[in-house]
Structure 1
Amino acid sequence: MANPVNKRFYTKINLLSLFFLSYPLVANSYNPDYNIAISCGSLKNTSGLDHRIWVGDSIDNSKIFSFIEPKTKNLSFNTKPISTYTNILYTTARVSHSNFTYSISTITTSPVFIRLHFYPSSYQNFDPSNALFSVQVNNNLTLLKNFNPLLWLDHVDDVTPIIKEYCIQIKPNEKLNITFIPNNINHSNPCYAFVNGIEVVSMPQFLYYSAPDYHFNYLTLNSNEYQIHSDSALEMVYRVNVGQNQVPTNQDTGMFRNWEADYPLYLEKQYPQSLSSDFGERVNYSLNTNPNYTAPEDVYRTSRSYGMDSTEDYNVTWNFEVDSTFTYMVRLHFCEYDYHIRIAGDRVFQIFINDTLAEETADVILWAGGRLIPVHKDYAVSMYSQEGNSKIERVNLSIKLQRLPKSMSYVFTNYHEVILNGIEIFKISDTNYSLAGSNRKSIILNPKQQFLPSEKSKKSILVVVVVVVSCFLLASVIGMIVFVRRRRRFESHPEMEESTRRIKKEGSSTLPSHLCRYFTIAEIKAATNNFDEIFIIGVGGFGNVYKGYIDGVTPVAIKRLKPGSQQGVNEFMNEIELLSQLRHIHLVSLIGYCNDGVEMILVYDFMQRGTLREYLYGSDNERLTWKQRLEILLGAARGLHYLHTGAKHSIIHRDVKSTNILLDEKWVAKVSDFGLSKAGPTGMAMTHVSTVVKGSIGYLDPEYYLRQRLTLKSDVYSFGVVLLEVLCARPPLVRSSEKKKASLVIWFQRCYKQGLIVEELVDPFIKDSITSESLKCYCQMVLSCLHDDGNQRMSMSDVVGALEFALQLVTTEEDSKFGWTKEKEKSEQRLLPHFTSEDGSDVFTSSSDDYGSQTSKVSTISTSTEGQPMLSATVFSEIGNPKAR
């Protein structure tokens, strides 16, 4: 029952419709006894898209909830985001550097939903990257810890709300206190907490919590005795409508739940005929043991299946990223509405959850008792990283449907089919009564947050550095002596050297040690002083990168997969198989590898000068001249061109970015990190490779992202982003910038299209050294690389030619300050080749005699009939007006 005090208050102020369900456009199956929605930071009540009134927290609602904060100088305040969202809820926020609490009046109904709404935008002078905080309920349940909403965005180009939903039990006559706690790790520039909206909505007693006589399977322990007790809290991590579009909050069964679409975010592959839509019949709840509020009817009237006529054998698979070290309740929703399926046994299939057989003979008709009757099945599964390594924070939870194997002939089924209508996944609180997991991405603090060491700490650091360097030099001398002595022994006993080689070879029989050196883990530890942190020169998704000395003398870069992790095994194997067979002046060379137990390690040539990005922004390194930048880009382009055309099979890098272009001591560029690379399309009929989207945000080819079709031109797009990075000296994405400038690509294309002065985007350090002619040439090349239609982009061969021409322009401009000479014009005429693009139009010409050394080319760009820049046979004379096709 509803709280009588609240009811009297609502009646007294005539606001019953503000806090109770304002019936949506669809009939509700459940009317919550308690329903309050708070618009944080708002000075007035507002009407939401869910047909509810959201109460402003800056007006007097003391009988419903109270706002509590300590009496400090850092009081909270209401503010508005710099960029606005269409939903009025996200136009205000409550922000504070100190703790603050929303105390909800006594709630007699239990359990309840708690939903927290976050819009990760900039608020006045608050950088969204500094939003780092925890959320607790009644000082005993932790919902979030070190949470940064910015890191939960699916698409960084568009800031969208992040909604966290929880189910908790309230003790009788207890208030609900929700406290936001900033993580003040740096008092000189403290972090802050914020929230845009809070919902508290009651739910049926046994919707997700288990009734006394209800048990379900615990797959991890092969037990069917699992229950969700009232002393547990739940976090809804995924709620998916399988086979159809999203079911929004105002079309739920009265509890304002949102049901996402399963494709393309979670469904691994959408097969032909796998989408089943409803047949126009209504779902039958009269014979159903499950209440009609369990899920909306729209969920049960659509599904995924094989398709009756499918002959291909595959699994229908959904993948969900979750926190490790937690137990999850997985709820699968079914409703058999296909008119072919009428009796038990007509459709029998298998269900695997996290690769564990959950149902050997799943039969929806048998479970439900007939057609058009909804039913759900619950399962518990504990998620741990491989080898029990708790440092792996995010792992994959998969749900797979499989047709009944032919070997199970004893089970008769008329249709070798599968079906699933909906998925819900809930995290269950751990023994510490916490639901806090990791952020989706690692937190990178704003540069302003970096700690400035005191004079005392500076002296301590200096002493430590001197000691470490001294020890390192001593170790190097000893290593040199050992190396010389071993070499002499091997020279006098060649059979000993052969024996040592054989031992290294046999360290891993599955990897190509005959193409590169196999290192023992002892050798790797010796090279890195047992993985001493002082030798770390980089950190990536794969793991730490160390500088080491092989055999005591040869400097190398050692990339170590996080021990025990299975998430990078494919990348590890892929990189060895590719790089051990590829050799090119502009590709980083693989020296060897170590595969010893849980250790997977790659050893490369050491690149003295680090990454290209370090010389563009984000470091104290000296900036590169325009000519240096072109030379580095040309080298990287030649390396990629070799991958595309020079190897035995074309190879798509799939992760081209400025941090994967390394520089040696002579400033020679080398492409690195081939863990995501794939073999390109083969044969005349094959134009692309269908694959799950992988790569780096900001560099992804939009055509690849939307259609999951990977082509050689996907690398060209990513390289086009690098070209822009080099020109503008800023990252591809800057979330803290105003929305129109957040994406470098979109900003550049908009400026170009609208005829604005592109020079404003150019890095001031090189601005004076680029002539208008050079800039036109370069911009046209960038626009061609970034074309939405992959067929209209240049090939890497064309990019090489265009960069050679751009570099030749710089050389000529250095020779003559007064423009082109007649002799130069003649040389350009001789260099001008002819090329036909994939769609048959004249675009560009390029020829080469060797992948490391190519003849110069001249390329020019004009405007196509659609307004998109194209290369033509005239010298970069006019800048076109590009438009998306």
Structure 2
Amino acid sequence: MANSKKKAPSMSNSPKIRFSCLLFLLLQHLFSVLVNSFEYHAVENLAIDCGSSGSSTSDLDDTRSWIGDKGSNDLFSLIEDEKDSVDAKTTDRSAQRVPYDTARLSRSQFTYSFRLTEGQKFIRLHFFPSTYDNFNRSNSLFSVQAGTFTLLKDFNADYGDVSDQFVPREYCINVDQGQTLNITFIPSLAHPDCYAFINGIEVVSMPTNLYFPKPGGLNLLGYDGTFLNIEDSRALETVYRINVGGSQISPNKDTGMYRYWNDDNTYVEKSYEASRQLPVNTWPKNYTLIRNYTAPDEVYSTARSYGKNIPPTYNVTWNFEVDPRFTYMVRLHFCEIDPDITKPNQRVFMIFIADKLAEDRADVVSWTSHNLVPFCQDYAFFPDHSGSSKQLNLSIKLQPVQTTFGYDAILNGVEIFKVSETGTGNLAGPNPEPRQSPPQSLVPPNKPPKSSKATTILAAVAGAGSGIIVVSLICFLIHRRIAQASSNNGSSKWRLISSLSSKSSKSQSSSLPSDLCRYFSLGEIRAATNNFDDILVIGVGGFGKVYKGYIDEGTTPVAVKRLKQGSQQGVHEFKTEIEMLSQLRHLHLVSLIGYCNDSNEMILVYDFMARGTLREHLYDTENPPLSWKQRLEICLGAARGLNYLHTGAKLSIIHRDVKTTNILLEEKWVAKVSDFGLSKFGPSGMSISHISTVVKGSIGYLDPEYYKRQRLTLKSDVYSFGVVLLEVLCARQPLLRSVEKQQTSLVQWVRKCHENGEIDQTVDPFLRGTITPQCLNKYVDMAFNCLLDDGNHRPSMNDVVWGLEFALQLQENIEGTVVGNSEVEKKGEERALLTTILNDDVETDMLFTSTDESSNGSRASKMTTTSSEDRSLVSGMVFSELFDPTAR
């Protein structure tokens, strides 16, 4: 009885026990469902084995059945213009796996039409270059379109670096409601035997906004405060998908979207022997990764790390080649997998993408609030020389910020996507370089090749004959050109011979104008900079480093600007700077002494500017503040330099990057405009007021008309110079994010204060009480005229020059301390006389300003007549003005 009484309570509690067990099982099930819910289940999951029938399992993922394209299917259909496509099987044993062992081929256009649900899709195309039946691999030349997007253009499967291997291409495309997705293969018309082919097609749904970011946009690297929206009306192409620190990840191990992840061994710098991986088995047993479908667990459970207590100069770099003509989205994957790092500020590092600062204090735990939590960060990158067709090195560099904890940087994964061009929808880049010898199959039909012996004899005879003709023609042209040049002056004759000899020189084989400026060998540059000694570095930028050097046996100081070694970034700007500056000489332009392009180096040599940039004397500096008169004279000098660019030559030049860091100061505080890498020749002809070009420049200085409409004018420089005028007055940068919102934009803040009659509040405190009211009013009015929204209403740079001269005169008149009253009156009379002379348009024969054709057909150059005293005042209007002719 006693025992039974003791058991009774336990029996009464049994329902609670059963309930607790059920609750535990339910929670366990919910947790399992929650975890498994991150395994994405695609709405569309099509895998088409082109050129086959039935279904088969692919070695690509081991899980899906690939269906053939022969016969009818409810999800897609094959549309052929000529009904002449064939299905064929390759004889290449290396391709004996689905979908690469069969192909659909045709010499006419054919289309796969897909009926899909609304949303974003992965489109994967699989190619295996091979000979199929009567289709020779070297004749595969075709384009591929998906809807309004061009995915491939004149794609040739027989190019050296894609032959003999599988070629998958992946794209992200949005499908609108009720839209049919058509993927069309179009053979080239270059040759009657050209054909298109495809081995396999995948169409897989992706989660909404997985790669198409939500509103707000991505930080556009190199353009502070600018964000790029990648709407789903554009398409993406996957260029790289990398599992950092881990091994390759096959599609069946992805999170339901069958993506392939490569390892990073090919891309990471090999010079860091201390590199190590941090695999998941380093975690405590009770740790579980919080999962999501952005990337597989294997990506977040491995990383590349370089140890603890590393030197401050350490960094880890990955290099990726990309086509410089496109914009790119770069996604970096992070997960703090070190169990000892649980708080912010323990692991802090900087991120550089394409040598542009993306994050100055990256802190994974701060981003995620915990370790073992996956996280990804997206950035947009637009190459600085979009006109080049050469491959660009897009580097990713991580450098730790030293803290008391001493941890290094960490990275788990990288994805890089090409963004389709706006308007055209183009994603197609150039083919790789072709093989050295053209394929025999491209010999025109009905013209069989000759025997080897006959071909050799024929080639020898033809070569000798053509050589004689070419040499004769060259000699005739040289004789004619020299005869023409000698009728003008001796220097033209020297330039012609110099140009011809430079083109024949192995070290100067480029088209760069060595006849107009000095060519330096790499040995001379190394000697001038003590082999690029870091002690001589006087500046660093996205382009590379600037060194102080000495040439002419150490007697002449120079500035040596070295673009990053081995990188193709900046090639266009390098050539532009040389071609522009080598033909320009002016007191207020930085003079280019010469260049070097030996051994893939890109180096420019300029006059050394002892005082550095204007910005270095305005704010964030230890230099003493400039007086108001010094600032006025510097602005006036810069305005004269810009006015010379706009009006001093036959073709006007738009600088396109006017800012205080591009205004340099020599020892005697003479201002010189520098950096012509982005410059453009202005519009030619009275009927053309602008040139249409991609927006480039510096955020905070960009003309709104140019930024919004891609229309570049001379007045775009005027707007940028207006920002410079306010920057000089207020001693603060154009954009500040550390102040109140209404003060973020310098232009808007000063304009608002001006409207409220509070302009004094914006003036640099050092200058308060030193600027005369008349001078300040004239200066501010000039600045705001430059900043008018309508470019047609802005003054010309010539008007700006006169406005600043007048402001300087007002300051000097009131001060009465720098010059006496008689001198002021004399200056005023000189300016009045000069104005009269300019308005009367008196002309005399001089070289290099404007070119007119006389009645006898000869061409003479003209310039306005002034006295030698007045010539300094109109220095902005004289072409090729050279104040120190011995300097060259």
- The TM-score normalised by the length of structure 2 is 0.48
Return the index of the structure with the highest Cα Rg.
2
Q: TM-score, normalised by structure 1?
A: 0.48
